[in-house]
């Protein structure tokens, strides 16, 4: 059963007996709490509530001291008290606020109002996987599943992908607005391009990391090291401008680390970033070591923009949960990469392409896919937790794939992908009626990346390299108005406490 520590305001806002009441009242107001605990050393000797302040104000005593209005001595409640028993105690004794103590030391304050709220509605029951539950307010963006629409701040993400550069969108996500002039654009580039370069110390560690891990796994290790080397500090300890600088660093260095790890894994020399190329062209340059075609660079840029953010998905939620603990921005991104690496989230595009390989040609679609659906397997690249209509990213990427296919082989490949899409949707419609299953971003992401010469093992890492931007925008927002994210679980195991068995 939940105890009082899940509900209390901690640490308590405190005052001393000798200070002016209006000073203590201002502190109460600034911290948005309804009481202050009056301390003498490490001991709680009294409590002043909003009511005491109002009463003193009504009597016109402008220079009252805390000691003149406080309730003293003060009763406290132990941190291990359960919520129902705390509520019963406060009701019995007529208290509205009570200090909470741990081994006699004040660690928080609990209010009757909060207890009654929990008591009247009980712990909120939510759907499995938190599906559809609103857990935060955000200005970063949103997804409208029924309309097949999503946006970054107030702009359509697909329109941004078609009309703006990755750096423009990056700036929009981090700073809140699009560059309005070439000068503003240049300023952002001047700030971020030098951050692409990895230091010699990290560079020297990459071969060891690449020798034992795939690029996305290796990214977690290398980013942890890069963040530690740069001495990133907990977000709660740093100013907004430092948080922004840390975010830009993590976003800029991620593609460089990924491409270096990929090349090292293939025993190829690392290709350092080029300052004269935009983000996407530089990505292809660092991956292949050759000048990319403008068409490939633009196709990749549109893909990267379209995947920079997408509502409160699992990795974004993870990033915000870690940011809510006050951890440094590097820790938040590393945690989010872990969430993204799962096949149900970001790990699907290479699997979607593997499915195309397995099917081989259009006449085999039913024979390969129907038994999979029958077995209850999820067909990679299909279905979405939010979209119940076409995923707008998949529609856009299908168009890009068609435009990119400029020779016979690639045209045949895109036509085969489209036929597979139609075939699988038909099968899903027949075998899973009413589930509204269509292609998601991953299906054509694999196709577009393949056409740009990106190898399958770099599909999810490439997705990660742009999603860092969305994570960072969300982490900055979380840090700016933070409340630790700490939900509850219902215990369904054997009733405790059971006797501890003896070792035979
Ligand atoms: C993305 C995904 C996790 C969304 O899951 P979800 O919204 O929770 O959907 P559910 O798991 O509740 O599925 C609802 C029904 O559709 C079916 N379904 C969902 N996606 C399916 C898929 N790709 N292939 C076959 N059946 C699927 C489920 O089996 C379930 O059927 P049931 O009602 O008979 O049990 C899921 O569609 C999936 O695993 N897709 C494949 C992986 C993928 O492409 N991921 C990238 C996401 S961008």
Give residue 202's pLDDT.
98
CA 384 to ligand 1 center in whole angstroms: 6
pLDDT, tens digit, for every residue of 150-183? 999 999 999 999 999 999 999 999 999 999 999 9
- Whether residue 502 lies inside any domain: the answer is no
What's phi and psi for 129, nearest 5 deg?
A: 70, 10
Domain tally, the chain: 2
**Amino acid 90: pLDDT:** 81
Q: Decide if pLDDT at 261 tops 80.
A: yes
Q: Ligand 1 centre from 139 Cα, in Å? A: 28
Q: What is the mean pLDDT of residues 88-103?
A: 84
**pLDDT at residue 83, rounded to an integer:** 83
Tens of pLDDT, residues 458-472: 999 999 999 999 999
Residue 130 in domain: no
Looking at ligand 1, which residue's alpha carbon is closest to its atom 41? 380
Are 107 and 149 part of one and the same domain?
Answer: no
Q: Which residues neighbour 471 within 8 Å (Cβ) at sequence distance 6 or greater?
A: 315, 316, 319, 332, 333, 336
Same-domain check for residues 98 and 178: no
d(CA 258, CA 270) in angstroms, rounded, equals: 11
Mean pLDDT of 389-408: 94
Collapsing DSSP to helix, strand or coil, 156 comes out as strand
pLDDT in tens, 119-129: 665 566 788 88
Query: Ligand 1: which of 378, 392, 470 to mutate, most ligand atoms within 8 Å of CB?
Result: 378
Which of 383, 429, 445 has the most ligand 1 atoms within 8 A of CB, as the residue to mutate? 383
Tell me the per-residue pLDDT of 343-379, one tens digit each, with 9 for 90 and over.
Answer: 888 876 788 889 999 999 999 999 999 999 999 999 9
Contacts of the segment 110-119: beta carbons below 8 A, 24+ positions apart: 110/4, 110/7, 110/8, 110/9, 110/77, 110/86, 111/9, 111/34, 111/35, 112/87, 113/34, 114/7, 115/7, 115/83, 115/86, 115/87, 115/90, 116/87, 118/2, 118/7, 118/83, 119/83, 119/84, 119/87
Nearest CA owner, ligand 1 atom 22: 378
- Same domain for 258 and 381: yes
Question: How many A from CA of 389 to the centre of ligand 1?
Answer: 14
pLDDT-derived band at 57, boundaries 50, 70, 90: confident
Ligand 1 atom nearest to 435, measured from its CA: 16
Task: Tell me the three state secondary structure of residue 100.
Answer: strand
Pair (332, 434) in one structural domain: yes
Q: What phi and psi, each to the nearest 5 degrees, are found at residue 323?
A: -60, -35
* Ranges of H-type helices in 325-458: 329-340, 349-359, 365-375, 392-404, 408-431, 441-451
Residue 223 and residue 168 in one domain: yes
SS3 state at 155: strand
* Residues, the chain: 504
pLDDT at 116: 77
Do 159 and 91 lie in one domain? The reply is no
Smallest Cα–Cα separation from 328: which of 249, 254, 255, 238? 238
Rounded to the nearest angstrom, the distance between the alpha carbon of 258 and the centre of ligand 1 is 29
CA angle centred on 284, ends 303 and 333, rounded to 5°: 65
Closest CA to 324 of 484, 473, 471, 474: 484
- Identify the residue whose C-alpha is closest to ligand 1 atom 5: 385
Pairwise pLDDT comparison (243 vs 63), residue with the higher score: 243
d(CA 189, CA 195): 10
Return left, alpha or beta for 177; rule: phi > 0 is left, psi -120 to 50 is alpha, else beta: beta
For residue 424, give both structure tokens: 């699988």
Is the per-residue pLDDT at 391 higher than 70?
A: yes
- 102 and 221: one domain? no
- Mean of pLDDT values over 97-118: 86
Could you tell me if residue 118 is inside a domain? no
Tell me 131's DSSP state. T
Indicate the angle between helix axes 215-229 and 459-480, nearest 10 degrees: 40
- 179 touches 166 (CB < 8 A): no
Average pLDDT, the chain: 93
Ranges 107-111, 365-369, 398-402, 474-478: which has the least confidence:
107-111
Write the secondary structure of 229-288 as one string of H (helix), E (strand) and C (coil).
HCCCCCHHHCCHHHHHHHHHHHHHHHHHHHHHHHHHHCCCCCCCCCCCCCHHHHHHHHHH
98 with 210, same domain?
Answer: no
Q: Give 147 Cα–ligand 1 centroid separation in angstroms.
A: 19
User: Assign residue 486 a region: left if phi > 0, alpha if psi is -120 to 50, beta otherwise?
Assistant: beta
Task: Determine the pLDDT at residue 92.
Answer: 73
At which of 92, 111, 130 does a domain end? 111
Phi, psi dihedral angles at 372 (to 5 degrees): -65, -45
Residues 232 and 337 in one domain: yes
Provide the angle, in degrees to the nearest 10, between the axes of the packed helices 279-288 and 166-175: 120
State in Å: Cα 436 to ligand 1 middle.
Answer: 10
pLDDT of residue 271: 98
Q: How confident is the model at residue 117 (pLDDT cuts 50, 70, 90)?
A: confident
Among 255-269, 314-328, 344-358, which stretch is predicted with the lowest mean pLDDT? 344-358
Q: CA-CA distance, 348 to 441, in Å (whole number)?
A: 9
CATH of the domain at 60: 3.10.580.10
Closest residue by Cα to residue 215 from 263, 272, 270: 263
Q: Residue 366: CB partners within 8 Å, gap ≥ 6?
A: 423, 427
Domain that holds residue 60: 4-111
pLDDT score of 63: 83
More confident residue, 111 or 1: 111
Same domain, 307 and 449: yes
Q: Do 468 and 398 belong together in one domain? A: yes
Q: Is 147 a catalytic residue?
A: no
Q: Which two tokens stand for residue 311?
A: 């509502």
Q: Which of 262, 288, 345, 384 is catalytic?
A: 384
Query: How far apart are alpha carbons 400 and 394 in whole angstroms?
Result: 10
How much is the pLDDT for 58? 74
Whether 498 is covered by a domain: the verdict is no
CATH classification at residue 473 = 1.10.580.10
Q: Within 10 A of 199 (CB to CB), how many other CB atoms are there?
A: 13
Q: What is the pLDDT of residue 123?
A: 60
Are both 325 and 213 inside the same structural domain?
yes
CA distance 117 to 405: 60
Confidence (pLDDT) at 13: 92
Nearest alpha carbon, ligand 1 atom 37: 383
In the chain, % of residues over pLDDT 90: 74
Of 68, 90, 111, the residue at which a domain comes to its end is 111
Q: Which two tokens stand for residue 124?
A: 């909120």
Confidence of residue 29 (pLDDT cuts 50, 70, 90): confident
- 384 tagged catalytic: yes
Ligand 1 pocket list (CB less than 6 A): 344, 348, 373, 378-385, 432, 435, 437, 440-442
């Amino acid at each position: 059963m939940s105890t009082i520590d899940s509900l209390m305001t901690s640490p308590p806002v405190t005052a001393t007996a000798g200070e002016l009441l209006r000073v203590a009242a201002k502190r109460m107001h600034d911290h948005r709490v309804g009481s202050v605990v009056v301390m003498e050393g490490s001991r709680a000797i009294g409590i002043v509530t909003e009511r005491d302040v109002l009463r003193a104000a009504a009597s016109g005593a402008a220079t009252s001291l805390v000691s003149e209005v406080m309730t003293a001595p003060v009763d406290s409640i132990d941190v291990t008290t359960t919520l129902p028993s705390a509520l019963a105690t406060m009701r019995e004794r007529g208290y509205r606020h009570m200090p909470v103590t741990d081994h006699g030391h004040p660690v928080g304050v609990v209010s009757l109002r909060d207890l009654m709220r929990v008591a009247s509605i009980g712990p909120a029951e939510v759907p499995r996987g938190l599906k559809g539950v609103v857990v935060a307010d955000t200005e970063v963006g949103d997804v409208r599943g029924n309309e097949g629409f999503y946006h970054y701040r107030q702009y359509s993400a697909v329109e941004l992908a078609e009309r703006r550069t990755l750096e423009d969108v990056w700036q929009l996500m981090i700073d809140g607005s699009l560059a309005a002039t070439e000068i503003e654009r240049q300023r952002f580039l001047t700030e971020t391009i030098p951050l692409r370069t990895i230091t010699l110390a990290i560079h020297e560690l990459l071969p060891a990391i690449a020798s034992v891990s795939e690029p996305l796994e290796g990214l977690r290790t290398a980013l942890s090291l890069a963040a530690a080397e740069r001495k990133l500090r907990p977000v709660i300890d740093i100013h907004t401008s430092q948080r922004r600088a840390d975010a830009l660093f993590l976003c800029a260095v991620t593609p460089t680390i990924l491409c270096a790890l990929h090349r090292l894994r293939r025993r190829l020399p690392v290709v350092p970033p080029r300052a004269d190329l935009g983000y996407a062209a530089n990505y292809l340059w660092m991956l292949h070591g050759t000048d990319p075609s403008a068409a490939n660079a633009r196709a990749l840029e549109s893909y990267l923009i379209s995947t920079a953010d997408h509502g409160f998905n699992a990795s974004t939620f993870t990033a915000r949960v870690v940011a809510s603990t006050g951890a440094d921005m590097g820790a938040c991104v590393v945690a989010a990469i872990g969430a993204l690496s799962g096949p149900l989230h970001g790990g699907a595009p290479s699997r979607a392409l593997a499915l195309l390989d397995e099917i081989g040609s259009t006449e085999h679609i039913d024979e390969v896919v129907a038994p999979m659906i029958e077995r209850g397997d999820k067909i990679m690249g299909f279905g979405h937790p939010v979209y119940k209509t076409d995923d707008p990213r998949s529609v856009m990427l299908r168009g890009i794939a068609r435009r990119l296919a400029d020779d016979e082989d690639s045209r045949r490949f895109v036509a085969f992908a489209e036929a597979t899409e139609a075939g699988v949707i038909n099968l899903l419609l027949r075998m899973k009626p009413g589930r509204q299953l269509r292609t998601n971003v991953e299906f054509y992401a694999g196709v577009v990346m393949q056409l740009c010469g990106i190898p399958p093992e770099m599909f999810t890492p490439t997705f990660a390299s742009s999603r860092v931007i969305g994570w960072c925008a969300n982490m900055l927002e979380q840090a700016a108005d933070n409340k630790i994210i700490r939900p509850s679980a219902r215990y369904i195991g054997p009733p405790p406490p059971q006797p501890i068995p003896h070792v035979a």
